[in-house]
Structure 1
Amino acid sequence: MSSLTNGDKQIQIFQNVDKLPLINTKPGAWVCDLGSAEINENPYTGGIFIKDELAQDLNSDSFPVNEWKYILEGEWHMIQNGKKLIAKPGDVVFVPKGAAFLSLKNPFKAFFVTNRGGVNHQPYVKAKL
């Protein structure tokens, strides 16, 4: 990571994010929180999310936070209200808090921004090394 200083504010560049450590939060789901910031007194977090070939379908009856995902690789396949949605590299997806949908097991990689603030993710017990 490189940074430039101007007063007390720092610009941060996260280089080679593909080499940053990921935490396995559930089978096939990996996350790397790059950092958090306060926006209008609400904590936001940004980072990398990867769903790999071991992931299973994930049903969300009520998504817990607002989240933006920018798809970097693969495709994110979802079903909401009986309609199949597919996000491809270059697409941006907004998932509002409370959304109900089924996330299918297709592998993908995304940059995310969410209003959950900084979280100490608990590694999945059977994480692959």
Structure 2
Amino acid sequence: MFLATADLSHAHFYFDGFSQTQFSAQETALITTLMTRSAEVKVALTVDRPTPSPAQLDPQNLFYQPARTYARLYQLALANKVKILDNQVATTPRVTPALQQLEYFWRDALTATPHRRLQS
């Protein structure tokens, strides 16, 4: 594989929309090569919380698929002694207050735990 011998020490890789959970052997080898040989690999995933361990996954969670990807990539980085950067979390909602209220209603229905409410 060309990348295994290329100088990637100054290369930065960014992946977005990366939510599959079952990597082929070739894809895993490529990700591992990029993680171990490049300056940095960043992956954007839409999740509700970090899930570094597969034991923390909840198959009923709306974000289950990208959370599995997060866990898989996290474990791959650990196994290869790759520095894991801090998570970047969006702090500003990008939806309307009405849609936020719908989210809170849906979470309440699923978890039976009241969440913060928006004022009407």
**TM-score, length-scaled by structure 1:** 0.24
Higher strand share: 1
Which one has more relative contact order, counting CA pairs under 8 Å at least 6 apart?
1
Higher helix share: 2
